[in-house]
Amino acid sequence: MVRVHIKSCTSTQSIVKSYCTKTNPPYHFFIIADYQSEGRGQHGSGWVSEPAKNVLMSLCFSPVKLKAERQFSIHMWSALGVVRYLDHVLNHADISIKWPNDILVNDRKIAGLLPQISIRSGRIQDIYLGVGVNLHQPMQQFPFYATSVKEETGQVFDRFSFAERLKYFITDAYKEYSHFKNWDSLQEAYHKRLWRFKREVVFIEKGEHKKGMILGVNDSGLLNMQTDDGLRTISMKEVEFLRKKIVNE
């Protein structure tokens, strides 16, 4: 496994995209940084991390024959890879995938994913996958409802060994599900770990609190929901979901 360690950068995503477009990196290559000055979450939201406390990494994949319209499969198998590794680390914790790409433990965010792609002739040429895991950072320093691996286990982990094992699980999920013929099994596995799947959720839409039931993700990666307004298809950032613990508090 080839690891590139950077003390500080704007974002690991920027570094890995630049590196992969200029070179032909080895298969097990990934970048890990101590600090990101412009760490990004989904849709440009920030990712705040104290230096050398968490896992901030990016990976690069070059899939074969993956059509652009199947790009949400990247969110699905990468999230499953992270969840499977955390299953081993946390032991029997309630770990779920909050659509589209947050990982929760007992309704508290522990990790996030940021897939980005390049497309050529209607097919995905390269995948740049950013992964952030709250490892050791004290929870009072987070500006959102969160947890960390240390908070959940009481243990301190070697950051680089943790990242390497995480990379292994993500790569294993990529091998299992990246082929276009595995869509149904991937969707089934994703739904099994989907947060609040076929359960009631509370969400905010245009400032109004509403209730609904998550029915799953369609082939385009949009969320199917049953609401008081009927069966709906929800796009990313169209609504804001409230986690149960926050609602109860």
Class of domain 200-248: mainly beta
pLDDT at 216: 96
Average confidence (pLDDT) over 96-105? 95
pTM for this entry: 0.91
Residue 108: pLDDT over 50: yes
Report the C-alpha gap between 225 and 247 in whole angstroms: 19
Q: Which ranges in the chain are annotated with CATH 2.30.30.100?
A: 200-248
Shortest CA distance to 97 belongs to which of 75, 121, 68?
75
pLDDT band at 248 (very low <50, low <70, confident <90, very high): very low
CATH number of 2-193: 3.30.930.10
Between 42-51, 61-70, 117-126, the lowest mean confidence (pLDDT) is in 42-51
DSSP string, 190-221: HHHHBTTBTSEEEEEETTEEEEEEEEEE-TTS
The structure tokens listed for 145 are 């409802």
Residues forming CATH 3.30.930.10 domain(s) in the chain: 2-193
pLDDT in tens, 166-209: 999 999 999 998 776 788 899 999 999 999 999 999 999 988 99
What percentage of the chain exceeds 90 in pLDDT?
A: 63
